[in-house]
Chain A
Amino acid sequence: MDLKSVTTASLQAPAKGNGTHAPVVAKVVANAVNVYYGEKHALKEVSVEIPPRSVMSFIGPSGCGKSTFLRCINRMNDTIPICRVTGRITIDGLDIYDPSLDVVQLRARVGMVFQKPNPFPKSIFENVAYGPRIHGSAQSKANLEEIVVSSLKKAGLFDEVKDRLNDTGTGLSGGQQQRLCIARAIAVGPEIILMDEPCSALDPIATARIEELIDELRKSFTIIIVTHSMQQAARVSQRTAFFHLGNLVEVGETQTIFTNPKDKRTQDYITGRFG
C-alpha cells in the first residue's frame, strides 16, 4: 500500500476510544479528478477528502457532476465505453485506478445503493445471500444465514420480514425494497457505501426510516450520498460538497454550508436563487 498518498484530512474528530482529538486520516482521497464523456468534460479537477465513518453528501443541480463523481469511487463509470477518468482516487491510500486492481474486489469494498430500489427478482433471503455467495465470503450455510440475518438487522428490515424470508423481494414496499438493497450492499462487508439519491422514490415516512438507518450505519461505514433534497443533506451528513457545472465549488461542515456558505454560487443554489 502506498502510504505516502494517505493524506491527513484537515478536519478534527475525536479519535476512537480515547476521546482525544487527533487528525483523522481520510478514507477516500480524490486528487485532480477529471471525467470526460466523449468530448464532454463532465467533472473538472475535483480534489476532496472524505473522512471515515461519517456521512458526506454531494449536492448540486442536475448535470453538475455529483453522480459522475460518486460513480468514480467504485469505478461504475468503467461500464460506460466513452467515459474517461483522469487524476487519482485512493481508498486507504490504495489507488483504485491501478490497472492491477481487481474491480470486483473494489466493488465489494465500495457498495452502492441506487435511486430506484432494484432488488433481484428472488426471495428476500436470496437477495441478501447473493453477494456473500458469489464472493465466497460465507464459510458455511449457517454462516451465510448469519450474514443474511445480521445484514437485514443492520438495515433495519429484519423485524418486518423475518417471517417471510422466502417471499420475493420485489413484493415489499418501496421503502422496504430500498432497505433490502442496503442490506444486500452491507452483506458483502463493504467499508464504503455510495448512495445515489436513495430516497427520491420514497414517501416521507420511508425516507425518515432510511435517514435514521444512515445515521446508524455511519458508525461502521463511510457513507457518501448524492441527494437533491438539501434538507436531507442537512439532516444526514456531517460534511457537504457542492458541485456546479462539473466543478467542486465548496466543501465543508454541513452546518456551515447551510447556514453560512462561503461561495456565492453555493448560497444561490441552497437558497433557491439559481438563475
Chain B
Amino acid sequence: MTDNVHIVRSYEEELRNLDAKIAQMGGLAEQQFAKAFDALEHRDPRLAEAVIATDVAIDRFERELEEISISMIARRQPMALDLRQIMTAMKIAADLERVGDLAKNTAKRALAISNEAPPKAVMFGLRNMVDTALQQLKDVLDAYSDRDPEKAVAVWLRDAKLDAMHTSLFRELLTYMMEDPRNIGLCTHLLFGAKNIERIGDHATNIAENVYYLVTGTNLTEERPKKDTTSSSRPGGES
C-alpha cells in the first residue's frame, strides 16, 4: 500500500468511501447468510421472512458501489493501485450480491420446510459447513480491509475443505433419500441449502483472488485444489 495520500483530497475520500461501503456490504451479507441458516436450523419462518425482505438492501449496496466506481473511472481516470481498487470493489460487490441471493434462497427453503423435522446428523453437518463458510467470508473481508494477500491466499486454499464437507453431506442426504422416499422433498431442500453454502465459499475464493490482485497486481493463477466431486457423481454408484 502507498502511504502517501492523493493531492486531490476528495479523490482520497471517495476511495475510502468505496472501502467503507464494501465493509458494510460484506457485514450485511455475512449477517444475512448466518440468519438464513439460523432460520433453517431453528425452523423460524419469521426470521426467514426477515432475511428475504432484507436482500434488497444488499442489492442497493451493489448498485451504489457500481455507480460510485463508474463515476470515479469517468472523473478521475484512475491508474495503477487506484484503478485496481475500483475494479476490485465492483467485482467484490458482485460476489457479495450473489452471497445475498444465496442467503435469500436458503431462507425461502427454510420457509418451505419449516414444518418438517430434518435429520439431526444432517443439520449438524450443515451447521459445520455454515460456520466454515462464515469464517471464510469474514477472513476474506478482513484480507480486503487489511490489504493482506497472504490471508487471501489462505482463504483461497481453505475452500477445498468446504468442498469436501459438501461432498460428504451430499452423500449422506442421498442415503436418507434412498432409505425412505418420503424424505426426498425435505432432503432436496437441504441438498440445495448445502449447495448454497458451497457456492458462498466459491464467492469467498473469488473475493480472495480479487484481493490478491488488488494488492500484488498479479493474478492467482494456479489451479486450486478441488474437493467437490458431487457434480460428477451418480446416485447409487461410485463417484
Q: List A residues at the B interface (Cβ < 8 Å).
A: 230-231, 234, 258-261, 264, 266-268, 270-275
- Do A274 and B83 have beta carbons less than 8 Å apart? no
Tell me, in angstroms, the Cα distance from A234 to B83 when the chains sit together: 13
- Do B5 and A259 have beta carbons less than 8 Å apart? no
Q: CB-CB contacts of B189-205 with A at 8 A, as 1s and 0s?
A: 00000000000000000
From B2, B11, B77, give the contact of A267 (CB < 8 A). Answer: B2
- Do A273 and B79 have beta carbons less than 8 Å apart? no
- Do A268 and B79 have beta carbons less than 8 Å apart? no
- Do A260 and B218 have beta carbons less than 8 Å apart? yes
23 contacts between A and B (CB under 8 A): A230-B77, A230-B79, A234-B79, A258-B79, A258-B83, A259-B80, A259-B84, A260-B217, A261-B80, A266-B80, A267-B2, A267-B80, A270-B80, A271-B2, A271-B6, A271-B80, A271-B81, A272-B7, A272-B8, A273-B2, A273-B4, A273-B5, A274-B7
A-B contact count (CB 8 A): 46
Closest CB pairs A-B (n = 3): A260-B217, A273-B4, A270-B79
Q: Which positions 1-41 of chain B face chain A at CB distance < 8 Å?
A: 2, 4-8, 11
- Do B6 and A272 have beta carbons less than 8 Å apart? yes
Tell me, in angstroms, the Cα distance from A268 to B2 when the chains sit together: 7
Tell me, in angstroms, the Cα distance from A259 to B84 when the chains sit together: 7
Tell me, in angstroms, the Cα distance from A275 to B83 when the chains sit together: 20
Q: Which residues from chain B contact A267 at a C-beta distance below 8 Å?
A: 2, 80-81
Q: Number of B residues whose C-beta is below 8 Å from A?
A: 17
From B4, B78, B79, give the contact of A275 (CB < 8 A). Answer: B4
Beta-carbon nearest neighbor of B216 in chain A = A260
From A234, A260, A264, A273, give the contact of B6 (CB < 8 A). Answer: A273
Q: Which residues from chain A contact B4 at a C-beta distance below 8 Å?
A: 268, 273-275
Tell me, in angstroms, the Cα distance from A275 to B3 when the chains sit together: 11
From B2, B11, B77, give the contact of A264 (CB < 8 A). Answer: B2
Beyond contacts A258-B80, A258-B83, A260-B218: 20 other A-B pairs, Cβ-Cβ < 8 A, are A230-B77, A230-B79, A259-B79, A259-B83, A259-B217, A260-B80, A260-B217, A264-B2, A266-B80, A267-B2, A267-B80, A270-B79, A271-B82, A272-B6, A272-B7, A273-B2, A273-B6, A273-B7, A274-B4, A274-B7
Chain B facing A: main interface SS: loop
Tell me, in angstroms, the Cα distance from A270 to B83 when the chains sit together: 11
Select the residue from A230, A234, A259 with max chain B CB neighbours within 10 A: A259
Chain B: minimal CB distance from A267 (Å): 5
Q: Which residues from chain B contact A231 at a C-beta distance below 8 Å?
A: 77
Q: Which residues from chain A contact B84 at a C-beta distance below 8 Å?
A: 259-260
Tell me, in angstroms, the Cα distance from A230 to B78 when the chains sit together: 10
Q: Which residues from chain B contact A270 at a C-beta distance below 8 Å?
A: 79-80
Q: Which residues from chain B contact A275 at a C-beta distance below 8 Å?
A: 4
Tell me, in angstroms, the Cα distance from A271 to B81 when the chains sit together: 8
Tell me, in angstroms, the Cα distance from A270 to B6 when the chains sit together: 10
Chain A: minimal CB distance from B205 (Å): 22
Select the residue from A260, A261, A266, A274 with max chain B CB neighbours within 10 A: A260
Beta-carbon nearest neighbor of B83 in chain A = A259
Chain B: minimal CB distance from A98 (Å): 40
Beta-carbon nearest neighbor of B79 in chain A = A270
Tell me, in angstroms, the Cα distance from A245 to B80 when the chains sit together: 21
Tell me, in angstroms, the Cα distance from A261 to B80 when the chains sit together: 7
Chain B: minimal CB distance from A268 (Å): 5
Q: Which residues from chain B contact A260 at a C-beta distance below 8 Å?
A: 80, 84, 217-218
Q: Which residues from chain B contact A234 at a C-beta distance below 8 Å?
A: 79
Chain A: minimal CB distance from B108 (Å): 41
Given A259-B84, A264-B2, A271 and B218 touching (CB < 8 A)?
A: no
Chain A: minimal CB distance from B73 (Å): 12
Q: Which residues from chain A contact B5 at a C-beta distance below 8 Å?
A: 273
Tell me, in angstroms, the Cα distance from A37 to B77 when the chains sit together: 36
Chain B: minimal CB distance from A229 (Å): 9
Beta-carbon nearest neighbor of A229 in chain B = B77
Chain A: minimal CB distance from B227 (Å): 32
Q: Which residues from chain B contact A273 at a C-beta distance below 8 Å?
A: 2, 4-7
Q: Which residues from chain A contact B217 at a C-beta distance below 8 Å?
A: 259-260
Tell me, in angstroms, the Cα distance from A258 to B217 when the chains sit together: 11
Tell me, in angstroms, the Cα distance from A143 to B72 when the chains sit together: 53
Beta-carbon nearest neighbor of B76 in chain A = A272
Tell me, in angstroms, the Cα distance from A220 to B77 when the chains sit together: 31
Q: Which residues from chain A contact B80 at a C-beta distance below 8 Å?
A: 258-261, 266-267, 270-271
Chain A: minimal CB distance from B201 (Å): 28
Q: Which residues from chain A contact B81 at a C-beta distance below 8 Å?
A: 267, 271
